[in-house]
Amino acid sequence: MNHFGKIKRVFLMVLDSLGAGEMPDAARFGDKGAHTLRSLSQTKELFIPNLRSLGIGNIDGLGFLGTTEAPKAAVGKLSELSNGKDSTVGHWEIAGVVSEQPLPTFPDGFPQEVIDQFRTLTGRGVLCNKPYSGTQVIVDYGEEHMRTGDLIVYTSADSVFQIAAHEDIVPVEELYRYCEMARKILTGQYGVGRVIARPFIGEPSSFTRTSRRHDFSLEPPSETVLDMLKAAGYAVISVGKIKDLFAKRGLTRMIPTGGNVGGMTRTMELVDTDFNGLCFVNLVDFDMLYGHRQDVQGYARALSAFDKWLGDFLPKLREDDLLILTADHGCDPADNSTDHTREYVPLLMYGKKILPVNLGTQKGFTNIAATLADIFDVAYDCPGLSLFGEITEMPKHLANAAVRALRQSYCPYSGFKVGAALLSDSGRVYTGCNVENSSFSPSLCAERVAFAKAVSAGETGFQMIAVAGGKDGVIDSICPPCGVCRQVMQEFCGPDFPIILAKPRLYGKYDEVEIHTLSEMLPFGFEL
C-alpha cells in the first residue's frame, strides 16, 4: 500500500548539528559523552515550549528536556549509518545515500601531489597548506599573498579545501575558476566535501572577508530521493545551504539565505504558497555560529528563537502537510573540541494526519528518505524504512514498536526473541519482551510482560496489542501469542480485542500486519 495523495507538502528542516546524544561508537570519533541537546539544557537560556509540546522530551534519553503527557508529534531518534559526522554525509544520508567512508580530512595539509597539480593548473604558488582559522589565515599570509600572487590554501577539521585571495590580486571570477580546477583534482581518495572560495579585501592591517564566498561541492555518489522526486515532477525546493550539500542536484528551486533568520523567514513565506513536493531547509547558524565556536549560551538562544518561530509556523500548516524536524550530526558546544560530534539526531514529525506515536530509536537517517519516497510514491531503493505507515496507522505503529521491543529480549535458552506493544485506553503504549529463566517454567512471555507493566501502572482498559517474534529476532513468519497469553488477554479485554501480528519483513522494509480478534484466537477461554 502506498500513501499517495495523503500528504501534499513536506517541510523537512535540518537544525544543523542538533545532536541527541552520543552514538554507541562515539568513542571511535573522539566524542565519548558528547550530547549537544543536554549541553543546551544546562544553560538558563533554553526555552523551548513548542518543541516540548511536540514531544522532544519524550524522545529516548531526552527526558531532561521535560516529557509531555500528550505530545503533538511523532517522535524518535535516528542513528547514523554512515561512517562520518559531517554535514555533507549527514544530509546525503537523510536523502538516502549511506557513505561507507567519511569524507577525507587533511589535518597535516594536502599531499604534495595535490598541491603540485594545483600549482600547475593555476600557474600560481601555494601558501599555508595547513588547517587554519579563516580570519587568522589572512592576517598571517595576506601580505605575502599580495606581494607574490600565491594563493592561500588552508583546511579545517572539516573536509574542505579553502582558497583565500585578495580581490585586487585575484579577481573573484578567476578565484572561482581556480576552485573549479581544485574540484577536478579533488576526487576519489582526495574527494573533499567542499572547495570554498574565500575572497577578502582591505589593507594588510585590516583585511576583511567579503560575502562573495562560494562553495563548490562534491556531488552525491549515487541517486538521492531528491533526484527521484524531481524526476517524478514534484517540487524540490531548497532553502539555505542544502543546494551546496547536493551540488544543486535534485532541486527544482533554490532559495539562498543568510543564516537562521533568513531560513525561517523564507520557510514562513513558502508555507503560504502552493506546491506539491518537498521543501528542504537547513538552518546553519546552530552549527556555524554556536557549535563550532563553543558558544553554549548562543546555541541555546538560537534554539529558543527557532522554537518561538515554530509557534507561528505550526498553525500555518495545512491539512495535508507534514513537518519533519531533524539534524545532520552533533556539535556539542560544551565538549572539549570545536569539531562535530558523533551523535544520534532527533526526529519530530508533525501534521494533522500524523499520529503522535513514539518511534523509539531507529536505524538510519535513511528512514527519512524512505518515508519521503513512500509518501510521494516514487520507487527509491535505499537502506531505510518508511515510517509513514507507522505514523498514520496505529496497528502498524504497534507492530513496529513490538519489533523494536524484541531487541531487549532476554532469551539465552531459546534464542527466540519476542516483542509486544499494548495500547491502553489512556493512549499509552506499553511494550514487553520475553524474559527467560534457566528453570524454563518461570519464563515470561512478551505479551504478559507488557500487560504486567500496564496493569501495575494503573491501566485496566486496552485497545489492541501487537506481537512480533522470531529466532534470533528475524521475523520470518507471524508469531501468534501462546495460549497462556491469550488467557491473560481475556482477563482484561473483550472478544473483539484486536491482536496484531507483524508479518515477515526484510530488515525494516516491510510493515504489513495481520489482525485477528481475541474471540477468533481464544474461542473457549477459561472463566471462573
What is the binding site for ligand THU (CB under 6 A)?
Answer: 411, 414, 416, 418, 434, 436, 443, 445-447, 481-482, 485
At its nearest, how many Å lie between ligand THU and the CB of residue 443?
5
Closer residue to ligand THU (CB): 310 or 421: 421
The label of the residue with cell 585571495 reads 165
Question: Smaller CB distance to ligand THU: residue 324 or 485?
Answer: 485
Phi-psi region of 428 (alpha: psi -120 to 50; beta: other; left: phi over 0): beta
The answer to whether the beta carbons of residues 388 and 371 sit under 8 Å apart is yes
Nearest approach in angstroms of CB 389 to ligand THU is 24
C-beta of residue 41 within 8 angstroms of C-beta of residue 346: no
Q: Which of 311, 319, 403, 324 is nearest to 361 (CA)?
A: 403
Give least dist CB 485 to ligand THU, A. Answer: 5
Nearer to ligand THU, 446 or 464 (CB): 446
Pick the closer one to ligand THU by CB: 427 or 504: 504
Residue 451 in grid coordinates: 500487560
* Nearest to ligand THU of 120, 414 (CB atom): 414
Q: Would you say 411 or 500 has its CB closer to ligand THU?
A: 411
Burial track 314-338 (b if 16+ CB lie within 10 A, e otherwise): beebeeebbbbbbbbbbbbbbbeee
Q: How far is the CB of 435 from ligand THU (least distance, A)?
A: 7
| Cβ closest to ligand THU, residue 24 vs residue 442 | 442
Contact 186, 130 (CB under 8 A): no
In angstroms, give the least distance from the CB of 448 to ligand THU: 8
Contact 401, 420 (CB under 8 A): no
Least distance (Å) from ligand THU to the CB of residue 158? 48
The rounded distance, in Å, linking the Cα atoms of 508 and 479 is 17
Residue 489 burial by Cβ neighbours in a 10 Å radius (0-12, 13-18, 19+)? buried
Distance CA 173, CA 351 (A): 45
Which C-beta is closer to ligand THU: that of 21 or that of 498? Answer: 498
Q: How far is the CB of 447 from ligand THU (least distance, A)?
A: 5
| φ/ψ bin of 180: left (φ > 0), alpha (ψ from -120 to 50), beta (otherwise) | alpha
Question: Facing residues of 520 across strands?
Answer: none
Helix (H) or strand (E) holding 325: strand 321-326
Shortest Cβ 410–ligand THU spacing (Å): 8
User: 265 vs 443, which CB is nearer to ligand THU?
Assistant: 443
> 165 or 418: whose CB is closer to ligand THU?
418
Closest distance of CB 409 from ligand THU, Å: 7
Nearer to ligand THU, 59 or 401 (CB): 401
Separation CA 163–CA 110 (nearest Å): 12
- Our CB check for ligand THU shows the closer of 275 and 416 to be 416
To ligand THU, the closest distance from the beta carbon of 522 in angstroms equals 12
State the nearest-atom distance from the C-beta of 387 to ligand THU, in Å.
25
> Rounded to whole angstroms, how far apart are CA atoms 366 and 357?
19
Other beta carbons less than 10 A from residue 478's beta carbon: 17
Record the cell numbers describing residue 233, joined without a space: 515532477
What does 24-90 look like in DSSP terms, one character per residue? TTGGGGT-TT--HHHHHHTSS----HHHHHHTGGGSTT-GGG---SS-SSEEEEEE--SS--SHHHH
Q: Minimum distance between the CB of residue 446 and ligand THU, rounded to whole angstroms?
A: 4
* Secondary structure (H, E, C), 379-421: CCCCCCCCCHHHHHCHHHHHHHHHHHHHHHCECCCCCEEEEEE
Amino acid at site 43? T
Q: Which amino acid is at 50?
A: N
C-alpha cell recorded at residue 344: 544520534
DSSP string, 442-467: T-B-HHHHHHHHHHHTT---EEEEEE
Supply the minimum distance, in Å, between the C-beta of residue 489 and ligand THU.
Answer: 10
Q: Which is nearer to ligand THU, 232 or 455 (CB)?
A: 455
